[in-house]
Amino acid sequence: MKRSVNRTIALVAVSATAVVAAACSTATGAPATPSASGPQLSGSITVSAAASLTGAFSGLATTFRHLHPTTSVNFNFGSSGALATQIVSGAPVDVFASASPLDMATVQASHMVSGTPVTFARNWLEIVVKPGDPLGIHSLADLTHAKVVAICVVSAPCGSTTQEALRRAGVTLATSKVSLGADVDATLAQVTAGDADAAIVYVTNAATVGAQGEGVPIPPSQNVATSYPIAVLTTTSNRSLASAWVAYVVGPIGQAALRRAHFLPPG
């Protein structure tokens, strides 16, 4: 797994220095209902979140807005690796929700994480095939019969976990039949919208395909779980709102929404 060696240390003006202490306690103190957390929240924040969180977070933003009508939470969804690169190169982001601790560590290494990241969910892998499973794919090993298998690029969390799962299953896919997706959404789309025979994506993605595909579970002995950490960034311009969003995701409402989207509990 090759990561960029000389990523620029951010040119970001770390202006908000004094406020550090107050914020992180709200983030970790999960159980309190976010609405009870006191003074009016206002303004907007940008949350960079792993592509696999698109559905769950978009839904949560709607209910969050009902609680805090004068706020707006904007999203930047993508592969966690790309998002981490953007943050480290100075993208104006308030909260980072990564699909792997590794990409969070990249941001931490640049001293841009405020406090300690909190794990708020986990995810498993699943195979998605064409409706009716015309090729009879029942396992990772069956993927060798497929003409084109879409998997995530190895720099994305779904890519590294996929490689590990294939290794555990003792399956080698020829380069000539692997179509790489930049993130998990792009990977899934190659089956649901395109002509790839199968894709390896997260369980949470497989749950969304509807009539456009079918999920094929991967047994726990071969499957690889990834943890999702979330953190407020030191560069935030709206610390109270950023912390409130993290608390909301970690708290009961966020957790319930994540369970509904088939994410595993963080523990």
Q: Which of 5, 11, 13, 36 binds another protein (CB under 8 A)?
A: 5
Residue closer to another protein, measured from CB, 6 or 62? 6
Identity of the residue, 1 or 36, whose beta carbon is nearer to another protein in the bound complex = 1
Give the C-alpha separation, 105 to 231, whole Å: 11
**Among residues 175 and 221, whose Cβ is nearest to another protein?**
175
Which of 13, 18, 21, 193 contacts another protein by CB under 8 A? 193
Rule CB under 8 A: is residue 195 a binding residue for another protein? yes
What residues numbered 142-181 form the site for another protein, per CB under 8 A? 147-148, 150, 153-156, 175-181
> What does the alpha-carbon distance between residue 199 and residue 179 come to, in Å, rounded to a whole number?
9
Return the residues of window 221-250 that contact another protein according to CB under 8 A. none
Task: Please report how close the Cβ of residue 186 comes to another protein at its closest, in angstroms.
Answer: 8
Chain centre to alpha carbon of residue 57: 10
Is residue 86 at the binding interface for another protein, with CB under 8 A as the rule?
no
Tokens of 152: 């995530």
Q: How far is CA 118 from CA 4, 30, 96, 97, 266, in A?
A: 25, 10, 11, 9, 9
122 touches another protein by CB under 8 A: no
Least distance to another protein, CB of residue 175, Å = 5
The DSSP symbol for 40 reads: P
Strand partners, 226: 123
Q: Which is nearer to another protein, 94 or 183 (CB)?
A: 183
**Which residues from 60-79 bind another protein, rule CB under 8 A?**
79
In angstroms, rounded to a whole number, what is the distance separating the alpha carbons of residues 34 and 186? 33
Query: For the chain, where are the E strands, in sequence order?
Result: 43-50, 71-78, 95-97, 113-123, 125-129, 149-152, 178-181, 198-202, 214-217, 226-233
Size of the site for another protein (CB under 8 A): 31
Of residues 79 and 114, the one with the C-beta less far from another protein: 79
CA distance 115 to 108: 10
Q: How near is the Cβ of 177 to another protein at its closest, in Å?
A: 7
Identified binder of another protein from the candidate list 29, 38, 69, 194, rule CB under 8 A: 194
Task: Copy the structure tokens of residue 71.
Answer: 């706020």
122/201 Cα distance (integer angstroms): 14
Q: 69 φ, ψ to 5°?
A: -65, -25
User: Stretches 3-11, 15-23, 66-74, 109-117: which one binds another protein (CB under 8 A)?
Assistant: 3-11
- The footprint of another protein (CB under 8 A) covers 1-7, 79, 81-82, 85, 147-148, 150, 153-156, 175-182, 190, 193-196
